[in-house]
Structure formats: structure tokens, C-alpha cells
Structure 1
């Protein structure tokens, strides 16, 4: 039996484990996709500063994000910080994000 990432992703989405995200290419229609949006808080500088490391994991077949692209997720604007990285067998991709001030 082969692995079908879309089946798992659909199940995750069905139980509310994914967020809706969108990317507007310079030419063409808005691309809407689902992703696992992460925003863990971290303490740095010996407890003096709190920071958040934003990222989103998504299906490689859903969208092709690149460094510098702007996306909208969870009501905020984010910029892709570096070239997204493939996970596992390449069905999933993780993009590190930087929050953009409104």
C-alpha cells in the first residue's frame, strides 16, 4: 500500500488541525492552501527577550513558495525567510516565516 499525503492532509484539515493560508502571485489567481502553522515562543538572551519562530508545513503539491514570497495565514501577513525545505519523502514542505508589521 502506497502513502498518499493528500489523504492524511484532508483528515488533518477535517478535524481542525490545519490553518488556511493564501499566496497571491504577481500574475494569476490567489492560491489558497492548508498548512500546519506553528508559532512557538522562545526565550533568548538569558531570559531577557521572548521571540516567536513562525513556520508553516504544507503539501508540496499545493503551492510552490520561495524566499521572499508574502503569504497570509491566521489573519496575519508573513514573509518566507529562506528557501522552503522538503520533509520526509518530499510530499511535505516547511517554510520559515517572518511576521510583517501591518
Structure 2
């Protein structure tokens, strides 16, 4: 029996650990997905580190995103850096976010 990593992400969403992200431009415009959203000054790794930029971690299967696509999170609009695979490179992707003014 194999373990489906997406079940972990679904459980995180069910418990309120993920944030709704709306795609504003690009091939997936109008869609939304759930992501692990990090913002500057957010303490991570049990207090041993601090986030330095806006970023999201999401599942490849949930949405297609590219560099310079724009997303909204809690009413704030961001432009994506180049999304990059993370972990084993098959399930999750991470992208830095630049606030759009």
C-alpha cells in the first residue's frame, strides 16, 4: 500500500493551516487553490528561523502557475517568481511572491 501525499495537504486544509489563493492572471485565472502561505517576519521551524519574504507552497495537481502570474491572498495581490519543485519534486511546488502595488 502506498501513501498519497495529497491526503496530508487535505488534512492541513481541513484543520485551517492552509490559505485560499485566487489566481488573478495567467493560464489558471479565475481558479482558486489552497496553499501554505508564508509572510515576512513569520516565525517558522518552532522558533528557530524567521521567514524573510512572501511565499506559497502548493500541490502541482491543484493549479498551473508560471513566473509573473498574479494571485490574491486575503485581498493582497502578488506576482509570482518562478515556481520550483520542492521535496521529492513530484507533489509540491514553492514560489516567492512580490507584492503588486
Aligned to 2:92: 92
* 1:16-36 C-alpha deviation (Å, 9 max, x unpaired): 000000114456761110000
CA gap 1:4/1:66 in 2 versus in 1, 3 angstroms = same
Structure 1's unaligned 5+ residue stretches are 43-51
* 1:45-89 C-alpha deviation (Å, 9 max, x unpaired): xxxxxxx500000001011111100001122100002x1110122
Q: Count residues with an aligned counterpart.
A: 92
Aligned to 2:5: 5
Do the aligned residues in 1 keep the contact of 2:27 with 2:65 (CA within 8 Å)?
no
Partner Cα distance (1:40, 1:25) in 2: 24
What is the TM-score with the length of structure 2 in the denominator? 0.79
Partner Cα distance (2:11, 2:20) in 1: 14
Partner Cα distance (1:58, 1:6) in 2: 10
Partner Cα distance (1:57, 1:8) in 2: 13
- 1:41 is paired with a residue whose SS is coil
1:36 matched to 2:36? yes
CA gap 1:28/1:72 in 2 versus in 1, 3 angstroms = closer
Partner Cα distance (1:16, 1:53) in 2: 22
